[in-house]
Amino acid sequence: MMISTKGRYALRVLIDLAEHQTDGYIPLKTIAERQGISEKYLEIVLKSLVKARVLTGVRGKGGGYRLTKPPEQYTVGEILRLTEESLAPVSCLEEGACQCPREAECRTIGLWSGLDQVINRYLDSYTLADLMVSGGERNGHRI
C-alpha cells in the first residue's frame, strides 16, 4: 500500500479548509496557492470530495468550497478510502477481489488480514481535528 498524491493532497486540502472554516466558502485558487498544488490537479481532487459529500461547493462570485461536517467527524481512514483504490496490503483483501484459489491452504492470509485491520483502525483513529494540531503528539506519534 502506498498513498497517492491524490490522497495526500485531499488530506492537506481538508485540513486547510478546516483551519479556515469560519471564512465561509474558500475559492479553489486560494486553496491551491496556500497548498502549492496546481489548480488543475486540485479540481480533480475537489470534484471527488464534493461527489462523496465531504465538501460542498458553490460556483460564481463568493463561491468556493467548505466542509460539510465539523473536522472532528472526518477520519483519515474515511478520506483515504475515498481517494485511494485500496488500502489493503495484498490484492486478495481488496474490496471485490476474486476468491483466491489458494485460500484454503494459505498460511499468510491471517497475517495480511491482521495488518489490514491494524492499518484501518490506525487511520480511523485520527480525525481532521487531530491533524490540525500543529506539532502535536498523540499515542506517542508526532502528528
pLDDT of residue 67: 97
pLDDT of residue 41: 95
Is the separation of the CB atoms in 29 and 63 below 8 Å? Answer: no
Please name the CATH architecture into which domain 1-135 falls: Orthogonal Bundle (1.10)
pLDDT of residue 133: 86
In which residue ranges of the chain is pLDDT below 50?
A: none
pLDDT of residue 138: 62
Q: Which grid cell is 48?
A: 471527488
Q: Output the furthest CA–CA distance in the chain (Å, rounded).
A: 61
Is the separation of the CB atoms in 64 and 30 below 8 Å? Answer: yes
44: nearest Cα among 79, 5, 80: 5
pLDDT of residue 28: 95
Pairing state between β 141-142 and 137-138: antiparallel
Is the separation of the CB atoms in 66 and 28 below 8 Å? Answer: no
pLDDT in tens, 70-81: 999 999 999 999
Provide the 3-class DSSP secondary structure of residue 115: helix
Cα–Cα distance, 75 to 143 (Å, whole number): 14
Give residue 52's identity as a one-letter amino acid code: A
| Full-model pTM | 0.86
